[in-house]
Structure 1
Amino acid sequence: MSDNRTESIINLEKSFQTAFRTFRKDINDLFSDDVPANEFAVLNLLKDKDFLTASELAAEMKVSSSHITGVTDRLIKKDMITRERSVTDRRIVYVKITEKGHSVAEKLASIRHEYFKEKFSALSDEEVERMIDYLNRMV
């Protein structure tokens, strides 16, 4: 790999880190009256699927099961989710969103959408499509 490409990749890495840290901080600030972004991520998954097991949540979010346990414990205390055993297999425990959790998830999804709409407003439609393509090719 040429020195120029190596330097460019280092600069790209720094730009990604700066952008994602900024997005994370801004989103957490916007959500501060309700829930942190990691709790929103769980609510957001559940609002579309109604219920998942803890291991399914962990896999979807690409985090450990112990992380999900902590997040779900906090959301249960806030009455935003519940844990319910399967009626067919008592070993299976489902995490389900409550009406309150669904309402908060909808509200925060809208706030997040408006945030990113503003963040990307300086980009043309073509630039946005190129970014989507570039990001999808990397994952």
Structure 2
Amino acid sequence: MDISKIEDIVFNYIDEFKVLFFPEQWSDIFLDFSKNEILALLFLYRKNNANMTEIAEYIVAPLNTATGVIARLEKKLMVERIRSATDRRIVLITLTEAASMVIQKEKAMITQYVLKIYGKLTEEEISSALSIYKKVLGVLKESKNPVKEDEIPVKRLKRIIIE
């Protein structure tokens, strides 16, 4: 396929998809948050609580970045740090009630849109769309991280003997 045709297709799709990014189309609550903040909020919503390492791994960021993300969310009163009941050395991050309510509200709005879309599609169209989505996602994941599984270094634990 000709490169200029690909470019035309891409820009035409961008023109059509821009409706997805209009603030009036969606609630503007998430416009107040960065991508990493949104990912951390959604992770905590699903998991109830997590430590910094788990959050850093989920948002694919270094620990110091995750700490900054959580600090900003804490300032916005969306998360709080709590000590583990079983081990006081462990600090867990959890959503505040306000954050849970915001996420539930946004989730309800997104669910309405998904139901409207599904209502306009046949089962076959839904199945085809999901299949195409999975293939596109697979290609994007491959091109982002082209390392083969046998080339991935194995993490080894080093045992330290304490006398």
TM category, shorter: 0.5 to 0.7
Q: Who is 1:31 aligned against?
A: 28
Where does the alignment leave 5 or more consecutive residues of structure 2 unmatched? Answer: 138-163
Q: Who is 1:135 aligned against?
A: 133
Assess, with a 3 A threshold, how the Cα gap between structure 1 residues 102 and 85 changes in structure 2: closer, same or farther: same
Assess, with a 3 A threshold, how the Cα gap between structure 1 residues 63 and 77 changes in structure 2: closer, same or farther: same
What's the C-alpha RMSD, in Å, of the aligned pairs?
Answer: 3.8
Assess, with a 3 A threshold, how the Cα gap between structure 1 residues 36 and 115 changes in structure 2: closer, same or farther: farther
Listed one character per residue, the Cα deviations across residues 21-63 of structure 1 (whole Å, up to 9, x for unaligned) are 6534548952338843733432222122111223322332344
Mapping for residues 1-139 of structure 1, pairs under 5 Å? 4=1, 14=11, 22-26=19-23, 29-32=26-29, 35-36=32-33, 38=35, 39-86=37-84, 92-118=90-116, 122-139=120-137
Is the Cα–Cα contact under 8 Å of residues 27 and 37 in structure 1 kept in the other structure?
Answer: no
Query: How far, CA to CA, are the matches of 1:68 and 1:20 in structure 2?
Result: 30
TM-score, normalization by structure 2: 0.57
Shift of 1:14: 4.9
Match of 2:27, SS? helix
Where does the alignment leave 5 or more consecutive residues of structure 1 unmatched? Answer: none
The structure whose Rg is larger is 2
Assess, with a 3 A threshold, how the Cα gap between structure 1 residues 8 and 34 changes in structure 2: closer, same or farther: closer
Shift of 1:78: 2.3
Match of 2:77, SS? coil
Identical pairs, percent: 24
Aligned residues: 136
Pick which of 63-72 and 92-101 moved more. 63-72
Is the Cα–Cα contact under 8 Å of residues 49 and 93 in structure 2 kept in the other structure?
Answer: yes
Shift of 1:71: 3.1
Listed one character per residue, the Cα deviations across residues 68-126 of structure 1 (whole Å, up to 9, x for unaligned) are 33432222122221123445666643211121211111111112222444466654332
